[in-house]
C-alpha cells in the first residue's frame, strides 16, 4: 500500500501492509470513501505516522476514533484543524494542562505541534463514517494499531504511554511496563471526566518529569 508516512514507520510496518487482513481493511475503506463522506480526508489517514517518526516517538496518546464531524479530523488523535472549535474532550485536555503546568489554553486545537516534538497521536481506528461514531471499528484497523503499539513497546525504551479510558487501557496489555511509563486515567470526555478521574491526574507534568529523568527533551504542551 502506498501511503505517506515517515520512512522509519514504512520500514517497520511493511510486513503488516502485506498481510491479508490489511488488504481487507484497504478494500473496506476504499469502498467507504467511494460511497459517502468519511473522515479524515484520505491523504491524512496516516498523518500520525507522517508527523511523528518511529525514532522520534517518546510519548503515545491513544484515542479511539477520528472525530466524525465536518472538518474536524486531521489524522491525529484528539486534534482538530486550525479554525475548528475544540471538541469537549480536547477542551478538557487543555484545562488539565492549564491546571497542571500553568499553560494558557491555546486558540487552536491542532496538535501537530505535539506530533513534531515526538508525540504519536494514534487513534485505534484510523477512519470513520461522517456522523457515525464507531462505524469503522472491528474492520481490521485495531489489529494494525495493536501491531504499532507492540512494535513501540518491543523495539523502544523509555516511552510514555497515556491511556485514557477503558478502551485505551485494554490496549495497554501489550505494553511492557518495565521498559516504559504507563499513565492511566478516565477518558477526558465530559461524560467520564465530570465524574472524576480525569482532572487532577497531572499526566503532562508526570510525562515531562519522566522524560527529563531519562535525559530526553520535555514536551512543550
- Closest by CA to 46, choosing from 94, 6, 96, is 6
For every residue of 43-88, DSSP letters joined together read GGTTHHHHHS-TTT--EEEEESS---STTT--SSTT---TTSPPPH
Catalytic one among 15, 31, 65, 213? 65
Catalytic residue check, 65? yes
- Closest by CA to 85, choosing from 116, 119, 61, 109, is 109
**Number of other CB atoms surrounding residue 75 within 10 Å:** 25
Among all chains, which residue has been given the C-alpha cell 489524522?
75
For every residue of 81-137, DSSP letters joined together read -TTSPPPHHHHHHHHHHHHHH-PPPPS---THHHHTTTEEEEESS--EETTBTTTTT
* Residues assigned a catalytic role: 65
Amino acid at each position: 500500500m502506498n501511503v505517506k508516512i515517515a520512512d522509519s514507520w514504512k520500514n517497520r510496518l511493511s510486513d503488516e501492509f502485506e498481510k491479508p487482513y490489511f488488504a481487507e481493511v484497504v478494500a473496506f475503506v476504499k469502498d467507504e470513501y467511494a460511497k459517502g463522506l468519511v473522515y479524515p480526508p484520505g491523504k491524512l489517514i496516516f498523518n500520525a505516522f507522517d508527523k511523528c517518526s518511529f525514532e522520534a516517538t517518546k510519548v503515545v496518546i491513544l484515542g479511539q476514533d477520528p472525530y466524525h464531524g465536518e472538518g474536524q479530523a486531521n489524522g491525529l488523535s484528539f486534534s482538530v484543524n486550525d479554525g475548528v472549535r475544540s471538541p469537549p474532550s480536547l477542551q478538557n485536555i487543555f484545562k488539565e494542562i492549564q491546571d497542571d503546568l500553568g499553560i494558557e489554553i491555546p486558540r487552536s486545537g491542532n496538535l501537530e505541534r505535539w506530533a513534531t516534538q515526538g508525540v504519536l497521536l494514534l487513534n485505534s481506528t484510523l477512519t470513520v463514517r461522517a456522523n457515525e461514531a464507531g462505524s469503522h471499528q472491528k474492520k481490521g484497523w485495531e489489529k494494525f494499531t495493536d501491531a504499532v503499539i507492540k512494535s513501540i513497546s518491543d523495539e523502544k525504551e523509555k516511552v510514555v504511554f497515556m491511556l485514557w479510558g477503558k478502551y485505551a487501557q485494554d490496549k495497554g496489555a501489550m505494553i511492557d511496563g518495565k521498559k516504559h511509563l504507563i499513565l492511566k486515567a478516565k477518558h477526558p470526555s465530559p461524560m467520564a471526566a465530570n465524574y472524576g478521574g480525569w482532572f487532577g491526574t497531572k499526566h503532562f507534568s508526570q510525562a515531562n518529569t519522566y522524560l527529563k529523568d531519562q535525559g530526553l527533551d520535555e514536551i512543550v504542551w
